[in-house]
Amino acid sequence: MNNPYGYINGRVRMMRTALVESRALDEAASTVNYQEFLRQISETPLREDLGDATAQGAGLGQLDEALSRNYLKAITQLRSIATGQPAREIEALLLRYDLQNVKTLVRGVQTGRSADDIVAGLIPAGTIPWSVLQGAAQSADVPGLAQTLSVAGGKLGTILRAAVAGGASSLLDVEVALDQGYYRAVLAGVRGTNVRRYFTREIDVRNLLIARQLRGGAPNARYFIPGGRDVSEADFLRIAGGDNSVSSPELQAITEAPDLGSAEAVARRLLDEASRNVAMADALGPGVALDFLRRKEQEIARMRLIGRAKYYGLGKDELQKELEGA
């Protein structure tokens, strides 16, 4: 009766109308050069945050900064409108950015990239303070990174430390440990049935992608993420062993995709659909916020891709292919 999501979702729905429309994205993608692209996006709701990105001689750094500013503003606004239980649920949804950021940090540190490069790939959202992420990017190795994040890196920092202490050494080991911890935390944090359904679908998709990645090697159940609905541990091992059949026909497309890149694109489409469904079915729950976060994430990712494509003069077809995978 007295559901706080009535108010929150009213606001989130209005925030959703401020997202860049797909027509404007298409127009931005079909511009002839970078200057034209900047002119095009300065006519969208992003214009308020563009700042130095449109100045004479500005490059991709300024564009990334502007997009990050816009992204952070949206996330901050979303966090500011929720209190009590909804605030805790929205925090649980924001853990996905922590997950992505910690994975970016692990990859960057493991491959020896510079701190500036790593920071450029981070998303200015989530629950880990930006200064902590910047500090963590300076780490010399993964155990050092885990040590830094365990202090102020929230749930994911603790999970990373436990994984490293438990002997996770390869990138896949660490990433799966982070995924397992993340899904455990998020399923414990959200109570809405529809949102849970979305996350169980996401776990199934992630399990299928991991199983595909494991093909050709010895299938191992320790890479399985519990909590899914349609993909059991036995299915996971079977698919990792080379079998393509899944009980859900929609998920079958992931196992049958010709390569891992196409499988990821199919997975992304499935999850977009699932998040749209949850937003429609969950009018008085966190589903609307979940869908907004997903759409905002995609908007920024696509803008970054188009910006890069225009800056480096990438062909239209190549850009289209990149956008499909985004």
Partner 1 sequence: MKNTAYKNSTVIAAKYLPALAVMTFATSAFAQEAATSDAGATASGLKAIGAGIALGLGAVGTGLAQGPIGAAAAGVVAERPEKFGQMAIWFFIPETLVIFGFVGFFLLRG
By beta-carbon proximity to partner 1, the closer residue of 78 and 106 is 78
Residue with tokens 């797909």: 22
Q: Which stretch binds partner 1 (CB under 8 A): 9-17, 52-60, 220-228, 305-313?
A: 9-17
Q: Does 84 bind partner 1 (CB under 8 A)?
A: no
Tokens of 210: 């991991």
Chain positions 281 to 300 lying near partner 1, rule: CB under 8 A, are: 284
3-state secondary structure of 110: helix
Q: In angstroms, give the least distance from the CB of 6 to partner 1.
A: 3
Nearer to partner 1, 81 or 160 (CB): 81
Give φ, ψ of 168 to 5 degrees: -70, 120
Between residues 2 and 170, which has the closer beta carbon with respect to partner 1? 2
Residues 6+ apart with CB under 8 A from 269: none
Q: How far is the CB of 292 from partner 1 (least distance, A)?
A: 12
Closest distance of CB 157 from partner 1, Å = 31
Nearer to partner 1, 47 or 191 (CB): 191
Q: Footprint of partner 1 on residues 13-42 (CB under 8 A)? A: 13-15
* 200/110 Cα distance (integer angstroms): 30
CB of 94 to partner 1, least distance (A): 20
Q: Tell me: does residue 3 bind partner 1 (CB under 8 A).
A: yes
Which range touches partner 1 (CB under 8 A), out of 8-16, 35-43, 56-64, 154-162? 8-16
Residue 43 CB burial class (10 angstroms; 0-12, 13-18, ≥19): exposed
Q: What's the Cα-to-Cα distance from 183 to each of 80, 111, 159, 198, 203, rounded to whole Å?
A: 24, 26, 11, 12, 8
Q: Is 283 helix (H, G, I), strand (E, B) or coil?
A: coil
According to CB under 8 A, which one of 47, 191, 316, 321 is a site residue for partner 1?
A: 191
DSSP class per residue in 30-57: T-SSHHHHHHHHTTSTTHHHHGGGGSTT
Residue tagged 């924001």 (tokens)? 94
Residue in the block written with tokens 């049958």: 256
| Sign of the dihedral defined by the CA atoms of residues 174, 175, 176, 182, in that order | positive
State in angstroms the smallest separation of the CB of 177 from partner 1.
Answer: 30
Give the binding range for partner 1 (CB under 8 A) out of 5-13, 135-143, 269-277, 294-302.
5-13
By CB under 8 A, is residue 6 in contact with partner 1?
yes
Q: Which is nearer to partner 1, 22 or 77 (CB)?
A: 77
Tell me, by CB under 8 A, how many residues bind partner 1.
17
Window of 1-9, 60-68, 93-101, 303-311 that interacts with partner 1 by CB under 8 A: 1-9
Burial bucket for residue 27 (CB in 10 Å: 0-12, 13-18, 19+): middle
Contact status: 73 vs partner 1 (CB under 8 A): no
The pair phi, psi for residue 150, each rounded to 5°, is -65, -25
Find the farthest-apart pair of alpha carbons in the chain and give their distance in angstroms, rounded.
Answer: 58
Does position 280 bind partner 1 by CB under 8 A?
no
Least separation in angstroms between CB 32 and partner 1: 34
- Judged by CB, which is closer to partner 1: 126, or 192? 192
Spell out a b/e string for 237-256, using b for 16 or more CB atoms within 10 Å of the CB, else e. Answer: bbbbeeeeebeeebbebbbe
Residues in contact with partner 1 by CB under 8 A are 1-4, 6-15, 81, 191, 284
